[in-house]
Structure 1
Amino acid sequence: MSKVLFLDIDGVLNSDLWNDSHREEISDGTLIDEGKIKLLAGLVKETDSEIILHSGWRFWFDTELKPLCTQANKLVELLEKENLHISGVTPDLTTEEIRKTKKFSLVKANEILLWINLHNSVTEWVVLDDLDLHSAQISRHQVKTDQTIGLTLENVKQAVKILSGNK
């Protein structure tokens, strides 16, 4: 594993704009925009990168990355349609206070950096997330999506550039 893509789900593979017109799907928690999955597939194939889930969705998988709920199962099905799979998840550094206040962005950077430190075969990496992760080191590798739109072709081009070593 040399190139890694740290993937957030909400605000990347779905968006507020898309969500507003798909209320029924939001209520059952299976909301993923298949067009965003196709963009992700293009990115992964072009860069030959591995997907590491750093989204809160990672808690919906067991230790063998098998889905534990409908939402995770739907994500896996949509990824598999594009011959994609999740290779791993970042560690959980949240505290009870962070979980209570839902301020996950405060620890996401440390979770990503810890994962990288534990996997010394990583040569290039990119983070797809709609949140500010409060880290200068991460920001050089982050493609910050707009939560109202989700992943775009322009985001994909930026990620390809980062994974090619052209920050």
Structure 2
Amino acid sequence: MKVLFLDIDGVVNRVGTRQSFRGFMGIDPFLASKVSKIILDTDAAIVLTSTWRIFKGGREEVDRQVYKTFDVTPTADTGFRGEEVKMWLDQHPDVTRYAILDDDTDFYAAQPLFKTNWQTGITDEIAQQISEYLNSEERADE
């Protein structure tokens, strides 16, 4: 199984996003379409790492606006997202390949992070890199 660990803020929304969700910045459909294309191109499952997984209705909004999520990461006592990804992977040995899409860097060095930024969110270039990475032949633990 391939997995895309997905953050929301700074990935599918950015400076200037006009959509809102419960009084906060929402999801930009143009940026969300780039994530949907990754899923369609790779057949990966989305695991939500964003704090949107904790907010009431957040996961459901991601399911509606981006793509149906497979699961969410657990919350580590440290709040370190790299540990949360590791905890999730430890419970899912069937993962053959994974990528992390986030605008932050709180991950372990060996974890395959594709970093966006708050100014642009996900770009076509990053989306293409993720698709190529997830579709490559290497195993997730190599």
Alignment TM class, shorter chain as reference: 0.7 to 0.9
Matched, 1:147 2:142: no
Percent of pairs with identical residues: 29
Paired AA for residue 150 in structure 1: G
Matches within 5 A, 1:14-163: 14-16=13-15, 18-19=16-17, 22=18, 25=20, 28-29=23-24, 31-60=26-55, 68-69=56-57, 71-79=58-66, 84-95=67-78, 104=79, 107-138=80-111, 141-163=112-134
> Do 1:30 and 1:74's aligned partners in 2 also have CA atoms closer than 8 Å?
no
- What is the distance in 1 between the residues matched to 2:71 and 2:59? 14
Give the strand-richer structure, 1 or 2.
2
- Please give the secondary structure, in 2, of the residue aligned with 1:136: coil
Paired AA for residue 50 in structure 1: A
Q: CA 1:56–1:8 in 2, change beyond 3 Å: closer, same or farther? A: same
Give the helix-richer structure, 1 or 2.
1
Q: CA RMSD in A?
A: 2.1
Report the Cα offset of residue 135 of structure 1: 1.6
Report the Cα offset of residue 77 of structure 1: 2.2
Report the Cα offset of residue 75 of structure 1: 2.9
* Unpaired runs of at least 5, structure 1: 61-67, 96-103
Paired AA for residue 94 in structure 1: D
- What is the distance in 2 between the residues matched to 1:73 and 1:5? 17
Report the Cα offset of residue 161 of structure 1: 1.9
- Please give the secondary structure, in 2, of the residue aligned with 1:88: strand
Report the Cα offset of residue 119 of structure 1: 0.1
In the TM superposition, structure 1's runs of 4+ consecutive aligned residues that sit over 6 Å from their partners are none
